Structure 1
Amino acid sequence: MLTVPSLPDYAAMAVTDKVFYAQLGQRIAEARKAQGMTQVQLAEALGIAQQTLAHYEGGKLRVAVALLPPLGQILGVGVDELIGAPAKRTGKRGPTPKLQQQIERLSDLPQAKQRVVMEMLEGVLMQASR
């Protein structure tokens, strides 16, 4: 198992570091839960104690940089996503925020109504492309 510094490390952190590590811990916890993993399972996969992982997720302990790549790999997310780096722009156009909201609302409808809306949308798009 990896050795980690004791909790007094938290007291020595600058406020900005505390905020960063709290957010990092939250993203780790969210990604872990999204994978359906427990803290025990993730800790075992990383070779660390469950208590250490709990302190990471709580932002009370600095996550070792060497753990970020295996964390990302196990959780199926990029290191940049874990640390909260801005998303890279690919140059591809995506839906506008309003359109994205409408798509999300559409997914809440029953399937029969979704089909009706999709048929109407296909008809409008066919007309628009003429």
Structure 2
Amino acid sequence: MPTLAFVNWPPHLGTTSMGKRIQSSEPAGNDFGERLAALRKAAGFTQVELAAELGISQRMVAYYESPQAAPPANLLPAIATALGVSIDELFGRGSKRRLVKQDGDSRLRRRLLAIEKLDPAEKRQVLQLIDAFIERGQLKRKVERSAA
């Protein structure tokens, strides 16, 4: 019986003759699940948040982060987009720089990306609200400085 091959499947994971995925004895540092968990954490997602972003359950995210499995190929682009990495980086073939937590609030960064996707009228309203809060904060600091 022929062995099924998975396109872009991590090389440290093999397949059985029925196409089922199996784990090799490759060191855990090359494990797709560990890399996925590290990228998720670096992007500031919990498993629940990433699951919601992808439209899957938290249990599936946990499963994909385990040594036993990896997500199906049709889910890879969505995962890469949500985490802000390329598909190559998901498989450890790209830049390692993203594994280091970036400065700033990742939740804020995700919200800004969501604002970018709003229609122009909604985006304008959100930006006006943000501008009002920023201006309020600046005025508050000015008053505090002048009182001191």
TM-score (structure 2 length as normaliser): 0.44
Q: Hey, which of these two has a bigger chunk of strand by percent?
A: 2
Q: Hey, which of these two has a bigger chunk of helix by percent?
A: 1
